[in-house]
Chains A and B, each alone.
Chain A
Amino acid sequence: MPQEMSTREAYGQTLVELGRENQDIVVLDADLSRSTRTSLFAQEFPQRFFNCGIAEQNMMGIAAGLAASGKIAFASTFAIFATARCFDQLRMSIAQPHLNVKIVATHSGITVGEDGFSHHAIEDLALACSLPGFTVIAPADAIETTQVVRVAAATYGPFYIRLSRPKTSVIYNSAYQFVLGKAATLRAGTDATIVTAGIMVAKAVEAAASLSQKGIDCRVLSMPTIRPLDEQAIIQAATETGAIVTAEEHLEHGGLGSRVAHVVAQYQPVPMAFVAIKNTYAKSGKPEELLERYGLTAANIEQAVHSTVLRKR
């Protein structure tokens, strides 16, 4: 595994492996197969690949029909089109009938970069998590993505898997084991907990390392499965560390932070802070520039932990 790899690349490669192992795997795309990397599957299994053109709503319906007939249907496009563009299709044709469709959405968040707000999916977790019966996962790196895609293929039901465009650091090694619905403790700590997912996991680890230099012993919980949430891990973190900061590449409302707060408020209220995009659409720019502009850096996390720890009783 290289030091850097995009999660979409890992997805494309894993799909090919799955296609070789299981005849029932079918893949759909909406004219973005080179970008989503489903083109790798299309090359090897043209009979089981359906390019639906620029028609995402129809793609979701076709995926539902294939799934209802015994197929494991992977449907891919950019995250904004996979959710916002066809929310009613997700609701009517996939969620309510509870069909075996795996929506693997690439180009999530603002790290899409220069294409601008039309292509920045910053509401997709809120939309996907609102659908009854959906499992929602945001892997942190290429290694985790490979495992998540395999688990999704092996687990009946609708999935939304959120991937990214840019190459990102590979943070796990081959010993890592993704468990559906379980958080991974990447760093032990007792003063505060950072709960995070996706590309922000690497930044949370960086922030925690810096905080430890300053005498704050910070736990890092990677929470790839955003729904269903690992409530026990959150309650334990709230109980043992007394302060929680969430970090995600998404709007502040409706994503990981909101879902963690829901658990904290119910079972173990402690001070919280939310590192996320604040009620705005982002502009065009380079991914790293945008992360800085919209407050999604390790320094932002560090600052949020500082202020939250001060509010502890």
Chain B
Amino acid sequence: MLASSSGEIAPAGNHSASATSAEAFPSIKGGREEVGRPLAEVAKSLRRHIIAMTAKAGSGHPGGSLSAVEVVTALWFKVLRHRPTDPQWVERDRFILSKGHAAPTLYAALAESGYFPVEELLTLRQLGSRLQGHTDRTATPGVEMSAGSLGQGLSFGIGTALAARLNSQSYRVYVLLGDGECDEGQVWEAAMAASHFKVDNLVAIIDYNRQQIDGWSWQVMNLVPLEQKWSSFGWHVIQVDGHDFDQILAAFEQAKQVKGKPTLIIAHTVKGKGVSFMENNLEFHGKAPTPEEAQRALEELA
């Protein structure tokens, strides 16, 4: 099923479904000491929230939300300097979710961080809720930017990073994109501009789950060679297993040392990660689990 002729297949983690492993990408190694709540535990909570929220809402995008869980967990629970009681703190690191359909992952991380009560997660997509179907800067504390129409978050991130330079502020800016999102031309306008303006306080992460609505991303619109595309645009590129906290955290650490250019982390992930029948199952890109499916998923994530 996975066309090895694409030349850049790097499945991550233990796959079910049809994904077979191919040559390994040159990933980085990192060791760390676990302080506070173990990240794997937080990640499992986020996954449970994503299932419960989308099932309750009866709509949403669980597949691309689940693939981004480890990256989002690492950022909000280890990397970002932020204050849940003061979402507008001027020195906060900025996290911009450009793939706005993964809103459930961000909402779950914000709730678990204390931005709003965890119970509120179950209001997702309901009239009157602060948790809109796609992210809304004006609705939710901790959400930096409205998104949902793809391809716009990186440009916003550049502006945010440039402002830090002008103001002599030390915050860093993290933008999470999808791989399908990289079909959008504006992403490449921004990729060019970020290196042109030498914004080294900007880190982009691609949740490379290799699937988009109409199929495998190399079949719908081939992005390969993704790493070379970004490095030729002037970015420092790091590839990681997007479900391996050691690698993810080491990459964020490495990015802080890179001067004079922006950093891209290609996080090789599995769509639907963590729920056996959702992994690499395109059906769950934009469909919520039924109550029965949600029950099965939550049992797996117990």
Judging by beta carbons under 8 Å apart, are B161 and A65 in contact? yes
For the complex formed, measure the closest distance between the CB of A307 and the CB atoms of chain B, giving whole angstroms.
Answer: 45
B138 within 8 A of A: yes
* Interfacial residues of chain B within 118-138, with CB under 8 A of chain A in the complex: 136-138
A93 within 8 A of B: yes
Q: Which of B146, B154, B158, B164 contacts A96 (CB 8 A)?
A: B146
Q: What residues of chain A lie closer than 8 Å to B167, measured between beta carbons?
A: 69-70
A68 within 8 A of B: yes
Judging by beta carbons under 8 Å apart, are B163 and A65 in contact? yes
For the complex formed, measure the closest distance between the CB of A232 and the CB atoms of chain B, giving whole angstroms.
Answer: 30
Most buried by A among B146, B149, B164: B146
Judging by beta carbons under 8 Å apart, are B193 and A58 in contact? yes
A63 within 8 A of B: yes
For the complex formed, measure the closest distance between the CB of A279 and the CB atoms of chain B, giving whole angstroms.
Answer: 29
CB closest residue in chain B, given A57:
B186
* Interfacial residues of chain A within 87-136, with CB under 8 A of chain B in the complex: 88-89, 91-93, 96-98
Judging by beta carbons under 8 Å apart, are B186 and A67 in contact? no
Q: What residues of chain A lie closer than 8 Å to B152, measured between beta carbons?
A: 57, 61, 88-89, 92-93
CB closest residue in chain B, given A70:
B163
Judging by beta carbons under 8 Å apart, are B160 and A57 in contact? no
B277 within 8 A of A: no
Give the interface residue-count category, chain A. Answer: 20 to 34
CB closest residue in chain A, given B144:
A68
B106 within 8 A of A: no
B162 within 8 A of A: yes
B189 within 8 A of A: yes
Q: What residues of chain B lie closer than 8 Å to A55, measured between beta carbons?
A: 186, 189, 192-193
CB closest residue in chain A, given B148:
A92
Q: What residues of chain A lie closer than 8 Å to B136, measured between beta carbons?
A: 96
* Segment with Cβ contacts to B, from A4-12, A44-52, A259-267: A44-52
Judging by beta carbons under 8 Å apart, are B159 and A68 in contact? yes
A62 within 8 A of B: yes
Judging by beta carbons under 8 Å apart, are B159 and A48 in contact? no
1/0 contact string of A70-81 vs chain B (CB within 8 Å): 110100000000
For the complex formed, measure the closest distance between the CB of B133 and the CB atoms of chain A, giving whole angstroms.
Answer: 13
For the complex formed, measure the closest distance between the CB of B218 and the CB atoms of chain A, giving whole angstroms.
Answer: 25
Q: How far is the CA of A60 from the CA of B157 in the complex (A)?
A: 12
Judging by beta carbons under 8 Å apart, are B186 and A58 in contact? yes
Q: How many residues of B contact A (CB 8 A)?
A: 33
Q: What residues of chain B lie closer than 8 Å to A47, measured between beta carbons?
A: 166
Q: How far is the CA of A89 from the CA of B187 in the complex (A)?
A: 12
Given A55-B189, A57-B189; A67-B137 close (CB under 8 Å) = no
1/0 contact string of B146-183 vs chain A (CB within 8 Å): 11110011111111111110110000000000000000
A64 within 8 A of B: yes
Q: What residues of chain A lie closer than 8 Å to B185, measured between beta carbons?
A: 57
B89 within 8 A of A: no
Given A69-B167, A92-B148, A92-B149; A53-B193 close (CB under 8 Å) = yes
Q: Which of B138, B154, B159, B166 contacts A67 (CB 8 A)?
A: B159
For the complex formed, measure the closest distance between the CB of A239 and the CB atoms of chain B, giving whole angstroms.
Answer: 39
CB closest residue in chain B, given A99:
B137
**A-B CB contact pairs (8 Å), 11 listed:** A53-B189, A58-B190, A61-B153, A62-B158, A65-B162, A67-B159, A68-B144, A69-B163, A93-B146, A93-B152, A96-B138
- B: residues with CB less than 8 A from A are 90, 136-138, 144-149, 152-164, 166-167, 185-186, 189-190, 192-193, 196-197
Given contacts A63-B159, A66-B159, 19 further A-B contacts (CB under 8 A): A53-B193, A55-B193, A57-B155, A58-B186, A58-B190, A62-B190, A62-B193, A64-B155, A65-B156, A65-B161, A65-B163, A68-B145, A68-B156, A71-B166, A89-B186, A91-B149, A96-B137, A96-B146, A97-B145
Sort A-B residue pairs by CB-CB distance and give the 6 closest, nearest first: A65-B159, A61-B155, A69-B163, A58-B189, A55-B189, A62-B159
